[in-house]
Structure 1
């Protein structure tokens, strides 16, 4: 849906009544005869592009739609143009008379539109629902970098961490959620973390660790242990175990392929991925 429209007398009521109540409508009164309208139009169109799902820019050309413009001006007490009337749920929420700078527009729209981290969280949620965990992690991490205190951000990031088996990271995030924000979503994630933590020390893992303790050169056991570590989200231990094999025998079985596969499961930009790529390069070259 195009969120920039030219209003007419015929479309006005339909636009107001059919626009979702959570969408902010910027009713923009302008004339092509006023030079200040040119720059404002450009700024408003940039804002509309930035908030394509949350903002509708309804432009009213007062030269073309004189009757409608005059009627609305009387109803809202408009003294001149350019001017912007902000509406939500069909009701006025703010009025911006006269020319507006970018800073003035940003300050006014900020009161009624989602903030930067909320937009990123929405994108992360959509990507998570699509199973695109790597990109979802990137968006959620960006939101966390913007505001590390936002519980909504920490919850979605913890959820994604669980899906990519970064269990300790998820646990650390959940431990910082204040009591007031510990809702059903939090409790569900907490339960998943507890189950994942219990699985981290399975009987199979303990047995393989015991075998390796007896013989550090038991590469078969190390590769099997790395597989187990990877399956329960102990990524760094999986990589370190495989690296200890590759240091001594770079061509041992599928160790190198597994090493790269584990790295590939980590999200883009993950520090762990960079660390173990460098370690591999150090023995390759």
Structure 2
């Protein structure tokens, strides 16, 4: 077991963003607002520290002396102490006030900590880029524990796409879509799958570009080039090609060109400036 102080930190207003908010991206952080004069705080603090050691890294305990950090206490709405807040992914997910008995604190901790399946999904995220086969195995373990874990299913569809197992990836997305919706990340995987599947038929960017240049009036070849470019991450050129097709033949070749544009826009994500720019250009070209 790790030493108690391995998972316990003292923090303050100046270091809070680094110690708590940034750290909460990778592990839940339990923030204990306390004061030297507070009797219940002196009862609760050692229990939280003992549990931090026992849970051995499943959460980090960050202690904040409220009198020394009044602005931080005010920002969290602390009206009485002890006051305990759980932060995950930079968001408050739960809280309690007062010195609860240990069994209640354990139950509270178990409610805020990721399940074993969620821990496996997080592990797979670290494997996905350089070891997709290992990520697949990890995600399948997660799904054995929680077969309907949507995050694991979406991640598995993405990993299978990386492994060029398009049919298996599509099957998972089809199952997810039967619920009547797709999460943004699942929609992004679906768009990537469509781009990759079509691009596979083009023979790559060089072959698609040569064919399009040889037949400049063939709008379908221009769309195939756009698909090949999108599969290689050349998103802006792909979008410009599709836009030129729509402007030439909106109701004919412009229809598949629009679909390719939407796929690329979905791939870029809603926060992308490039996606926003070409979403506006597409709307202008269509309407």
- The normalised TM-score by structure 1 is 0.47
- The normalised TM-score by structure 2 is 0.47
Larger radius of gyration: 1
